Amino acid sequence: MKDKDYISRLETVIKQMLQPLKDIPFNLVIESMTGKKVLSFDFSNQDHKDVLELIKQAAINAGKEINKTGICPAPLLTSF
């Protein structure tokens, strides 16, 4: 029961974080966050479609792994 409450609260926070991003173009959000330009996507270009399929599969695989192991914070680096 505790996990369901935590997940519910987490979902609410994420929804609130995304709310202000409505009606803002995706490329503008990414460029603002990363300082990198977003390339345009051409749905008629087979190379672009192939890359999209690879990205989709990577997202599916990452989601499956997260569901198995959970999300753990990375260990802090104490020396350089």
75 located within any domain: no
Domain count, the chain: 2
> Quick one: 43 and 66 in the same domain?
yes
**Does 45 lie in the same domain as 32?**
no
pLDDT of residue 12: 87
Query: What confidence score (pLDDT) does residue 50 get?
Result: 97
Query: Do residues 34 and 44 share a domain?
Result: no
pLDDT for 43: 93
pLDDT at 58: 97
In-domain check, residue 46: yes
| Residues 19-77 pLDDT 10s | 776 788 888 888 988 899 988 889 999 999 999 999 999 999 999 999 998 887 777 66
Does residue 76 belong to any structural domain of this protein?
Answer: no
End-to-end CA distance of the chain: 42
Q: 49 and 27 in one domain?
A: no
On the question of pLDDT at 80 being above 60, the answer is no
Predicted model pTM: 0.50
Compare 20 and 5 and report the one with higher pLDDT.
5
Same domain, 6 and 18: yes
Q: Is residue 1 part of a domain?
A: yes
* Radius of gyration, alpha carbons of the chain: 17
Which domain covers residue 13, as residue numbers? Answer: 1-38
